[in-house]
Amino acid sequence: MVNNTILVVGGGISGLTTAIEASEVGCEVILVEKNAYLGGKVTQINQYFPKLCPPNCGLEINFKRIKNNPKIKCYTMAEVENISGQEGDFDVTIKINPRYVNENCTACGKCAEACPVERSNDFNYGLDKTKAIYLPHEFAFPAKYVIDPKACAGSGCTKCADVCQYGAIEPAMEAKTVTIKVGSVVWATGWNPYDASKISCYGFGVYPNVISNVMMERMAAVNGPTKGKIVRPSDGKEIKNIAFIQCAGSRDENHIHACSSVCCMASLKQVTYVREQYPDAKIAVYYIDIRARGKHEDFYVKVQNEMNAVFIKGKAGEIKEDPATNDLIVIAEDQINQVLTEEKYDLVVLATGMQPATALSKVPAAMSYDEDGFLASDPASPGIYGAGCVSKPADVAAAVQDATAAALRAIQSVRRRNNG
């Protein structure tokens, strides 16, 4: 008996797309997401390039499509532990981690008001704090609170449970494992920002004013740690000089070998964030090649013409810090002018690249990978397909395109088995 259900692992923009697109063809879909909410990395992005529109807009449409569609079943806080069997008949073990908050939660927020302890907010890359019981972000879908067991004061404290009128707090909740049967699997666990602290000459993690591009997104976002104001993390001061450093980890034999394909456009976009807030700030972009492919070239031209930013052809080689002021000195070879430059900045943004999630956490099945950990396009296990940034470094449009294609592959897979 062939199972026609499609399992989609990863609830970011790629996984969501595969799940929704397949379900709108009429397939039963199970979507598994590790976080407490769907949407993945794009929920943390302030605006998409080149339209400068908010990701939550498209996510809202996608969530509406899920709400209206009984064919999609979502598990959040869940991870796929094991896949066995074969195309058309997979047994999949899913571990569902405890949220400690049950379906009764109405997201009224009383619990967080009462909670006495705080935790570093990973949604904002540690730039601020939440309570130990928290809503991951305003747009969180599902809109349910969650307890961070590492931060929670534990059994001695019952403050959240005391104020909850709906019996939603369940401190005794335990991880559980479910086994499901599916016909095909789409692996869409996405990417992680490359750990910039590994690029020792840039001082990320040591100098407070060296941040990564993903942190910049949070800072520019109205629902971010600074309510959208771009400031220096060390002292909250406004920005006068800012540098963007491209290929911070990408195109590098010591780090990610491939080009991450999105960072150029992301930095150009972030130039517009800075310019909007600081009409007089000095903005510099250090680059090797500006890769604004296709019609994105228009955006590059626009930024060059209108944003009054300086583009320096030369990979930034080193960042030094003035410990008294936390100002940063970027040393690079300006190759057009054939000089070594040492410029001072208030804030430096590293365009850290994309590392596929599969570089650190492999698919629990026989799959092949390229040298950076991206899933190779010829699946070693028929019936299991990659989608989005586990397959290649991709921007949102390309990831969605790939995820749409993956939906068809997954459908073909189950239908092929039906025929056979």
Partner 1 sequence: MAKKTGVFICSGCGIGESLDVDALVKVAAKECKAPVCKTNGFLCGKEGVELIKQDIAAGELDCVLVVGCSNRVNYEAFDFGPSVVVERVNIREQVAWSQQPNDEDTQAMAEDYIRMYMAKAKTVEAPEPYIAENLSKTIMVVGGGLAGMTAAIEAAKANYQVLLVEKEAALGGWLNKVYKLAPVKAPHTELEDTNLEARIAEINDNPNIKVYTSAVIEKTAGGPGLFDVTIKQNGNEIIERAGAIVLATGAVPYNPEKLGHLGFGMSPNVITQSMFEEIAKKGTITRPSDGKEVKKIAFIQCAGSRDQEHLPYCSAACCIESIKQSLYLKEQDPEAQAYVFYKDIRSSGQYEHFYKKAQMAGVMFIKGDVTDVSEGDEGTLVIEADDLLMGDKTMADEIDLIVLANGMVPTTAFEEGVYMGLGAVAAVTEGAGEAAASCDAPAVPPATIIKSNILNLQYRQGPELPDLKYGFPDSHYICFPYETRRTGIYAAGSVRRPMDMGQSVGDGVGAALKAIQCVELTEQGAAVHPRALDISFPDFQLTRCTQCKRCTDECPFGAINEDEKGNPLINPTRCRRCSTCMGACPERIISFKNYSVPMIGNMLKAFEVPEEDEEKPRILIFACENDAIPAIDMAGISRLQLNAWIRIIPVRCLGSLSLVWINDAMSRGVDGVLLLGCKHGDDYQCHFMKGSELAEIRLSKVSETLDRLGLESERVQARTVSIMDYEVIPKMLAEFMEKIEELGPNPMKGF
Partner 2 sequence: MVDNKISSAPIKYDNTFAKEIYSLENGHYVKMCMQCGMCAVSCATRQIMDYSPRRLFNLIRAGKKEEFMRSNTMWMCTTCCMCKVRCPRGIPLVDVMHDLKALALKQGYVEYPQAAFYQAMWAEAFGRGRVFEGGIMARFYLKRGWNEIKKALGMKDLGMEMLKHGRMPIVPPRKIKGLKSLQQIIQRAQSLQEKEAK
**Residues in region 133-172 near partner 2 by CB under 8 A:** none
- Return contacts of 43-46, CB within 8 angstroms, 24+ apart: 43/123, 43/137, 43/139, 44/123, 44/214, 44/217, 44/218, 44/221, 45/217, 45/221, 46/217, 46/218, 46/220, 46/221, 46/222, 46/224, 46/228, 46/273
**Residue 118 CB-density burial (10 A; 0-12 exposed, 13-18 middle, 19+ buried):** middle
β-bridge pairing 184-187 and 133-134: unpaired
292 near partner 1, judged by CB under 8 A: yes
- Among partner 2, partner 1, none, residue 163 binds (CB under 5-8 Å by kind): none
29 vs 210 by CB, closer to partner 2: 210
Closest separation in Å from C-beta 378 to partner 1: 6
339 vs 376 by CB, closer to partner 2: 339
Sheet with 72-75, edge to edge strand ranges: 72-75, 29-32, 6-9, 184-187, 384-386
Closest separation in Å from C-beta 340 to partner 2: 6
> Within a 10 A sphere around the Cβ of 232, how many other Cβ atoms?
20
d(CA 255, CA 123): 24
252 near partner 2, judged by CB under 8 A: yes
Candidate segments 77-85, 163-171, 330-338, 353-361, binder of partner 2 by CB under 8 A: 330-338
β-bridge pairing 89-96 and 176-182: antiparallel
- Return contacts of 62-65, CB within 8 angstroms, 24+ apart: 62/16, 62/17, 62/20, 63/38, 63/141, 65/20, 65/24
- Among partner 2, partner 1, none, residue 34 binds (CB under 5-8 Å by kind): none
What are the two backbone dihedrals, phi and then psi, of residue 78, each rounded to the nearest 5 degrees? -125, 150
Question: Rounded to the nearest 10 degrees, what angle do helices 13-25 and 396-419 cross at?
Answer: 40
Out of 257, 322, 325, 382, the residue judged to bind partner 1 by CB under 8 A: 257
d(CA 357, CA 35): 14
Please give the C-alpha separations between residue 411 and each of 15, 21, 189, in angstroms, as whole numbers. Answer: 15, 10, 19
- Among partner 2, partner 1, none, residue 159 binds (CB under 5-8 Å by kind): none
| Placement of tokens 């910049």 in the chain | 216
Closest separation in Å from C-beta 401 to partner 2: 28
With contacts defined by CB under 8 A, how many residues of the chain interact with partner 1? 92
340 near partner 2, judged by CB under 8 A: yes
Closest separation in Å from C-beta 402 to partner 2: 27
Asked if 300 and 292 touch (Cβ cutoff 8 Å), the reply is: yes
Out of 247, 349, 394, 398, the residue judged to bind partner 2 by CB under 8 A: 247
- Among partner 1, partner 2, none, residue 91 binds (CB under 5-8 Å by kind): none
25 vs 175 by CB, closer to partner 1: 25
298 vs 342 by CB, closer to partner 1: 298
d(CA 40, CA 399): 13
Question: Which 52-71 residues touch partner 1, going by CB under 8 A?
Answer: 52-62, 64-65, 67-69
Question: Which 105-164 residues touch partner 1, going by CB under 8 A?
Answer: 106-109, 138-139, 143
Closest separation in Å from C-beta 205 to partner 1: 26
Closest separation in Å from C-beta 334 to partner 2: 8
Closest separation in Å from C-beta 285 to partner 1: 13
Out of 28, 79, 327, 402, the residue judged to bind partner 1 by CB under 8 A: 402
112: left (phi over 0), alpha (psi -120 to 50) or beta: alpha
Closest separation in Å from C-beta 271 to partner 2: 21
Closest separation in Å from C-beta 34 to partner 1: 21
- Among partner 2, partner 1, none, residue 411 binds (CB under 5-8 Å by kind): partner 1
333 near partner 2, judged by CB under 8 A: yes
| Placement of tokens 């700030």 in the chain | 281
The three-state secondary structure class of 13 is helix
Indicate the length of the chain as a whole number. Answer: 420
Mark 172-201 with x for binding to partner 2 (rule: CB under 8 A) and - for no binding.
-----------------------------x
End-to-end Cα, the chain, rounded Å? 11
Please give the residue ranges that form the binding site for partner 2 (CB under 8 A).
201, 247, 251-255, 288, 314-318, 331-333, 335, 338-340
